[in-house]
Amino acid sequence: MKVLAINGSPRVNGNTAAAIEVVKEELVLHGVELERFDLGLNIVRSCAACNHCARIKKGLCLYNDDLVNEGIKKIAESDGLILASPVHYSGISGTMKSFLDRVFYASSRAPVNPLRHKTASAFVCVRRAGGLPAFQSLMNYLTYAEMVIATGSYWPVIYGAAPGEVLQDTEGMAVLKEIARNMAWIMKNLKDGKEAPPQKVPKQAMNFIRNENSR
């Protein structure tokens, strides 16, 4: 089994990367691989709101010139997903937001959303403040997609500023390891599960202003 961890930091060797490596070590102890997917300094355009993905219904974005469609394919091949971002102005990094908006929007327009019922988790790395709103915004993607969320026993806001400092946040590290153990356990149980998951019920959008252009 394999987990894909999205690293939303521009610093490929920064704190978010170091924290992902800690999760990886713990997952490996429980028989699960982890691949890190660094957004780094790549330019990821924001969603054009063109709704091409809704029309073609292939679960892919129209724009093929950045990491989004590659990320979608890698997520589909993985059993679990971790979203990890540095905190930038009390939110997630701009690149991470552009990436996730398009990955989750296009995936939700596929005939079968590859994210649905996949095991997932999220955490953020922060120097001092703004961790919880950033964490919440990562959770918004996971809950929208009906993912099965692995948690630890505290909200995973990991502290550090200079690259590697997060490793000194011993409580944060313990929470990340708990998440890894819970994630491995959930993934194994879902794989061996005997009962089929609930069927998807078609979404009934209820826009507040109603005319033929509302969708």
Ligand X SMILES: Cc1cc2nc3c(=O)[nH]c(=O)nc-3n(C[C@H](O)[C@H](O)[C@H](O)COP(=O)(O)O)c2cc1C
Interacting residues toward ligand X by CB under 6 A: 9, 11, 14-16, 86-90, 125-130, 160-161, 163
* Nearest residue to the partner ligand X, using Cβ: 14
Q: Closest distance between ligand X and the C-beta of residue 99, in Å?
A: 15
Sorted by sequence, the CB contacts under 8 Å of residue 57 that are 6+ apart come out as: 109, 110, 111
User: What DSSP state is assigned to residue 122?
Assistant: E
Q: Is 3 helix (H, G, I), strand (E, B) or coil?
A: strand
Helix, coil or strand: residue 105: helix
Burial class (CB in 10 A: 0-12, 13-18, 19+), 61: buried
Considering beta carbons, is residue 20 or 150 the nearer one to ligand X? 20
Q: Choose between 86 and 152: whose C-beta lies nearer to ligand X.
A: 86
Please, what is the minimum distance in Å from the beta carbon of residue 133 to ligand X?
A: 9
* Residue positions counted in the chain: 215
Nearer to ligand X, 21 or 101 (CB): 21
How far is the CA of 130 from the CAs of 3, 52, 87, 133, in angstroms?
A: 27, 34, 7, 6
Angle between helices 94-108 and 68-77 (to 10 degrees): 60
Find the shortest distance in angstroms from Cβ 42 to ligand X: 14
Residues 125/86, Cβ–Cβ less than 8 Å: yes
Q: How far is the CB of 78 from ligand X (least distance, A)?
A: 21
State the Rg of the chain over Cα. Answer: 17
| CB closer to ligand X, 36 vs 109 | 36
The residue among 94 and 185 lying less far from ligand X, judged by its C-beta, is 94
Smallest gap from Cβ 89 to ligand X, in A, equals 5
By the 8 A CB rule, do 76 and 31 touch? no
Q: Which residue, 86 or 156, is less far from ligand X as judged by CB? A: 86
Query: What's the CA gap between 179 and 184, in Å, rounded?
Result: 9
Shortest CB 15 distance to ligand X, Å: 4
